Amino acid sequence: MTDMVRSQQHGQQHGLAADLLESMTSAEPNVAEAERVLSVVAGAGMVVWGVRHGGVAGMVAGVAGAALAARGVTGYCPVYANLGAAGDERHFAQEALESGEARRDAGLH
């Protein structure tokens, strides 16, 4: 691979990472508070596991954990944002659970 191709690929990767970071920090939060806390805790655990174990699996766990922790810190999930209406349905389902409607509908009291 030539240096020019490497430079272009690095620029594209940097651009994608920068775009994702910008969207996560400037977008309206779309993750519930409890889910955010769980994301930070689980993400930190994955990073620690990854650092301790090393290798490819450790690196993958570390990167995934960092992304999960970032999701919790920012309150923004790009997957939820791309789901659109499905994300709204998840929100309504959570509201129903919190209000007890789902229990009444299922015959549970």
Question: Quick check: 95 pLDDT over 60?
Answer: yes
Each residue's pLDDT tens digit, 40-94: 999 999 999 999 999 999 999 999 999 999 999 999 998 888 887 455 555 655 6
* Model confidence band, residue 5 (pLDDT cutoffs 50, 70, 90): very low
Q: Determine the Cα–Cα distance for residues 77 and 27; give it in Å rounded to an integer.
A: 9
Tokens of residue 62, six digits: 């570390």
Q: What per-residue confidence (pLDDT) applies to 63?
A: 96
Q: What is the pTM of this model?
A: 0.59
Question: Quick check: 17 pLDDT over 90?
Answer: no
Tokens of residue 68, six digits: 């999960």
Comparing CA positions, the residue from 64, 76, 65 lying closest to residue 25 is 76
Domain boundaries, the chain: 3-76
